[in-house]
Amino acid sequence: MAEDLFAEAEKAKTEGNAYFKDAKFAKALAAYSKAIELSEDEDDDDGLDSLDSAKPKNPSIQIYYANRAFCHIKMENFGSALSDSNKAIEAKDDFSKGWYRRGTAMMALGRPKDALRDFTQLCRLAPQDKDARDKLKQCQKQVTQERFAMAIGTEKTAPISQTLDMGAMHVDSSYEGPVYKTGACTPEFCKELMAWQRQEKSIAKKYAYQIVLDAIEMLKGVSTLVDIEVPDDGEVTVCGDVHGQYYDLLNIWELNGVPSEDNPYLFNGDFVDRGSFSVEVILILFAWKLAFPRHLNLARGNHETRNMNKLYGFEGEVTKKYDEDLYQLFCEAFCLLPLCHVINKQVFVVHGGLFSKDDVSLDAIRRVNRDCEPPDEGLMTEMLWSDPQPGRGRIPSKRGVGVAFGQDVTENFLETNKLKMVIRSHEMKEEGYEIEHSGKLVTVFSAPNYCDQMGNKGAFIRLDGKTMTPKYTSFNAVPHPNVRAMQYANPMLGQLFGMS
């Protein structure tokens, strides 16, 4: 019987590997879970070996856990990846992939010191592996950088927006692109910038700086929770994650019209990272925001943060296309983005989700200090990171941050604040959107064929001002220049080992 179970488990693992190779991570996850369940059945099958029960009878169990951990990493379920990595290490403490997966999960969770210990152990187990040594060096470098940043952070330095000398920044005489003027950002300029960037051309550095500086000044005047008013005869469009997919963003505007007073938009976070045109995305969004301050709304996502930008590409992209100072300026702007919006006092729109406690009021949200990097816990972090789950109550988040909340949590929040529904983003959906919690919660995701490999559709939602009834539009990805997703990501997230 044990041999039959082992063979079935190996078959499930092989199926998982095939799904993983095709980037079908959810199906791969299910296959690895089946292999693990079969192995656990095998452990329970033979009571005669109880004295040796500490050792799994399936010699591949650590492989199944490590492979499933890798799936979780690809799906950004870092909490679950950490749990599976621990189980792989427990099953076989000299299994190098277990330590690599755990180190990667620790890095993604913003715990580089813990990751450093794991990569150090990895190098002990694989001393001749060049990739392992490279990962250790990268991790050591990040820990050193963070220590330095903490040291200089104690010296009350002024924000970079207050120290820049824009007068010393000049535009090359050969530049033929759009010209930005402070206080005069028009729809015509925005359309010129859209077309210029479509050709893979960068706006002059001085103008890029000035756009972000002006966005910072504008965002200083908004609140943590922004109320949006839509007239009865009007509509508003809500978009989810864009993730640096500039050409798909342009396609949204081709399908649904560019922003205007009569065609307002709310972009619900995760503008940057992963896609390799994040600079173009955030500059055009800031430009439209400057052109229509009340009709182009932007919310912060979990990827508008330093930890995510360091790993998933935005920091590398900005420093490659421009320089470090512009990246620091973007970070300053991100800290000023609102955390959520309420449309017509009926629809709550937030990037991630709801909270670890009941009876959270809109007034409590308004009091949240958003001008910082997200803390380890609290309302701000939960708004950026939480996800819905199909059951009731709350369970630990598969991401390792925030909480997974059920329908009763959604209903309590809506009843407490006399609201109609929640719109959130933060998760890829096959059709670009998904309706949950008996229609009281909707996820919208606007990055089709996510990371050039997921095959999903994107979507946006239109709400009419009179009834706030959602209308959904799904759309496919459009071609983009030959620059792969994650081009600028930290190599720490690269694949160290192949699947087993």
Specify the pairing of strand 265-267 against strand 235-239: parallel
Q: Is the same domain home to 96 and 18?
A: yes
pLDDT given at position 88: 97
The HSE-up count of residue 469 (CA atoms within 13 Å, CB side) is 4
Domain finish residue from 102, 125, 153: 153
Q: Is the same domain home to 184 and 111?
A: no
Domain finish residue from 153, 182, 203: 153
Q: Is the same domain home to 149 and 173?
A: no
Which amino acid does the sequence have at 427? Answer: E
What is the tally of structural domains in the chain? 2
- Which candidate, 88, 85, 104, places its Cα nearest to that of 56? 88
Taking the C-alpha atoms of 95, 97, 99 and 103 in order, what is their torsion angle to the nearest 10 degrees? 180
> Which long-range contacts link 218-221 to residues 24+ away (Cβ below 8 Å)?
218/289, 218/290, 218/293, 219/333, 219/336, 219/337, 220/336
Instruction: Write out the two tokens for 415.
Output: 């009843």
Instruction: Give yes or no: 303 in active site.
Output: yes
Range(s) of the domain holding residue 84: 2-153
Query: What are the 10-residue block averages of pLDDT along the chain, 500 residues in total?
Result: 82 96 91 93 50 60 96 91 96 94 89 91 91 86 79 70 92 96 96 98 98 98 98 98 98 98 98 97 98 98 95 95 97 98 98 98 98 95 98 96 97 98 97 98 98 94 98 98 93 51
**Residue 426 placed within a domain:** yes
**Residue 46 placed within a domain:** yes
**Residue 160 placed within a domain:** no
DSSP string computed for 169-216: ----TT--S----TT---HHHHHHHHHHHHTT-PPPHHHHHHHHHHHH
pTM: 0.91
Q: Select which of 72, 303, 351, 437 is catalytic.
A: 303
pLDDT given at position 53: 46
Q: Is the same domain home to 175 and 148?
A: no
Give bridge partners of residue 388 from the DSSP assignment.
Answer: 405
Under 8 Å between Cβ of 487 and 451: no
Under 8 Å between Cβ of 358 and 241: no
Q: Is the same domain home to 352 and 465?
A: yes
Q: Is the same domain home to 226 and 288?
A: yes
Angle in degrees, 0-180, between the axes of helices 78-91 and 96-108, rounded to the nearest 10 = 160
Which domain CATH number covers 98? 1.25.40.10
Q: Is the same domain home to 114 and 186?
A: no
- Which candidate, 472, 455, 454, places its Cα nearest to that of 463? 472
- Which candidate, 276, 175, 289, places its Cα nearest to that of 483? 276
Taking the C-alpha atoms of 491, 456, 388 and 436 in order, what is their torsion angle to the nearest 10 degrees? 180
Under 8 Å between Cβ of 223 and 366: yes
Task: Give the Cα separation of 402 and 189 in Å (integer).
Answer: 39
Q: Is the same domain home to 140 and 263?
A: no
Which domain CATH number covers 410? 3.60.21.10
pLDDT given at position 74: 87
Domain finish residue from 99, 131, 153: 153
Q: Is the same domain home to 446 and 297?
A: yes
Measure Cα distances from 142 to 138, 251, 258 in Å. Answer: 6, 37, 40
